[in-house]
Structure 1
Amino acid sequence: MEKIIELDQVSLKRNGQWILQNINWHINQHENWVLYGLNGAGKTALLNMLCAYYFPTQGSIKVLDKVFGRDYLAEKLRQKIGLVSSRLQQKFYPSDSAFEIVLSGAYASIGLYEKPTEEIREKAIGLLEELHCLSYADRPYETLSQGERQRVLIARALMAGPELLILDEPTTGLDFLAREQLLDALTHISEKSTAPTLLYVTHHVEEILPIFTHTLLLKNGQVFDSGLTKDMLSDEKLTELFECKVSVTWENGRASLRKK
């Protein structure tokens, strides 16, 4: 089975401190994963390495069959990875329309600097329609709600046909309804025959959908455990992870968490 991500004994030191240590993590094709951990666990640093913004201090990383530092330029690798992150929103020009931002995804650029082909325009319109964004396609990005912005970012991330789609805490700042609409959109994306591998980063158990087959638990910069999501989100496992007693309840394939 083709490997999407291969991390072997990966460690990262920044400013004299170890941020990540001895990370072993393999993601196979047709698996969708959750990266789960509390704030400060090292999730952001790990994502920066997967996107080739950081390179490991020790160990080896292979993403989409390319070895970091040997096989591929980082910029070319990033074109095969779709990224949806609240931090990305700050880089866009606020006056650009939602349509222009989605179009820019075809070129992996911030801003639109070339005239899109008719094929690219049609693809952008199709994605906006799929994600229920078409009604506000011509509105400036700065006027959109947080939920609308996140759906636009997902459409943008899908423009280049990525093999890996990383969603970095995409529901931050969303109310319950907007969160569920976005999660429904992810379910729809995962069901397509051309769906990329999904990697969803969160510290909220209730956001973990049934489409996410596997979960990696990250704690203090190290892999606490990884495996099938149902096994990782158990009373015993999360009690040990949090070092306090918690109870996990399952309903319709989704978990909720409370402190005992």
Structure 2
Amino acid sequence: MVQEIESNVIQLNEIIWNRDHKNILNCISWKVNKGEHWAILGLNGSGKTSLLKIITGYQWPNKGQVSVLGNVFGKTNIPELRKKIGWVSTSLDEKFHSRPSDTAIEVVLSGKNASVGLYEEITENDIEKARELLQQFRISDLTNQAFSSLSQGEKRKVMIARALMASPSLLILDEPCNGLDLYSKEDLLSTIEKMAQSAEGPTLLYVTHHIEELVPSITHTLLLNKGNIIANGQKKSVLTEELLDKTFGLPISLGWEDERPWIRIKSKNRV
């Protein structure tokens, strides 16, 4: 049976995961509480995706204990638990390529049962909720338009609305701005910011290697490098030039504007 403990969203204790005799995650201990929204930052290959797969039960650690929404892995029904977790990534978009005629609202409705396509009964209440989500993301005019014909930014909004269709307690946004132009990226970030401000919304994990995407509602940050935690905690205490240097392997200059962090690479010639 799947339960949900209000204050405990994620608890990882000394997680180790290796592949081909190489540690991908090294003794990871991390806690996420209700009311927090986390960014996970790191270069490609830092362990971000492996961490997400362990949290969602698609990958099992070699050592350590995992608890998600108060459910200890090994003592809970993982497929049932996944119904409480929304995961949005560009790889999910690709699963709909074989269904070019599906409309935006059909894609959103498919999120109720986490299916690609509609195979189970859909109620009038489901349709009403899907319409409300499309309106929330300011894309109600795309309701009956083919998903395959939408822009990348529009597709990303539809996929986030799809993830919210099942009213998840935890929402993972895995590099949601990947491939978007500047306007589409800022438009999507504005939408995510409004969603994160809602007291009734899910706990958010925002995964990226672009620090400027961290909107004000992101409260905490986890920094990863080569499977190791560099730092984790409240956003402004973790996002320092020294810790970012260790995370990205470059000398970084950090600034803040409108409660968002911005970085540039320091000149190597600077003394």
Do they superpose with TM above 0.5? Answer: yes
Deviation at 1:115?
3.1
Residue 24 of structure 2 is matched in structure 1 by 19
Structure 2 letter corresponding to 1:6: Q
| Structure 1 unaligned residues grouped into runs of 5+ | none
- 1:75 and 2:87 are equivalent in the alignment: no
| Structure 2 unaligned residues grouped into runs of 5+ | 1-5, 267-271
Contact 2:43 2:247 (8 Å CA) reproduced: no
Deviation at 1:2?
1.1
TM-score for the superposition, normalised by structure 1:
0.97
Residue 147 of structure 1 is matched in structure 2 by 153
TM-score for the superposition, normalised by structure 2:
0.93
- 1:85 and 2:84 are equivalent in the alignment: no
2:111 to 105, 115, 121: 105
Contact 1:79 1:162 (8 Å CA) reproduced: yes
Q: What CA distance in whole angstroms lies between the structure 2 residues aligned with 1:241 and 1:106?
A: 37
SS at match of 2:256: strand
Identical residues among aligned pairs (%): 45
Residue 219 of structure 1 is matched in structure 2 by 225
Cα displacement string for residues 18-62 of structure 1 (whole angstroms, at most 9, x for unaligned residues): 211100000010000000001110101111111110011100000
Contact 1:55 1:68 (8 Å CA) reproduced: no
Residue 156 of structure 1 is matched in structure 2 by 162
Q: What CA distance in whole angstroms lies between the structure 2 residues aligned with 1:235 and 1:189?
A: 29
SS at match of 1:255: strand
Q: What CA distance in whole angstroms lies between the structure 1 residues aligned with 2:224 and 2:23?
A: 14
Structure 1 letter corresponding to 2:135: E
Residue 67 of structure 2 is matched in structure 1 by 62
Deviation at 1:197?
0.4
Contact 2:86 2:172 (8 Å CA) reproduced: yes
Contact 2:14 2:65 (8 Å CA) reproduced: yes
Structure 1 letter corresponding to 2:81: L
Residue 3 of structure 2 is matched in structure 1 by none
Residue 9 of structure 1 is matched in structure 2 by 14
Structure 2 letter corresponding to 1:234: T
Residue 197 of structure 2 is matched in structure 1 by 191
Structure 2 letter corresponding to 1:12: W
Contact 2:156 2:176 (8 Å CA) reproduced: yes
Contact 1:206 1:257 (8 Å CA) reproduced: yes
SS at match of 2:245: helix
- Structure-to-structure mapping, 1:24-63, within 5 angstroms: 24-63=29-68
Contact 2:212 2:262 (8 Å CA) reproduced: yes
Aligned residues: 259
Deviation at 1:87?
0.8
SS at match of 1:5: strand
Deviation at 1:187?
1.3
Cα displacement string for residues 94-143 of structure 1 (whole angstroms, at most 9, x for unaligned residues): 32111101001111111101231000000000000110121111111111
Q: What CA distance in whole angstroms lies between the structure 2 residues aligned with 1:242 and 1:151?
A: 29
Moved over 6 A (4+): none
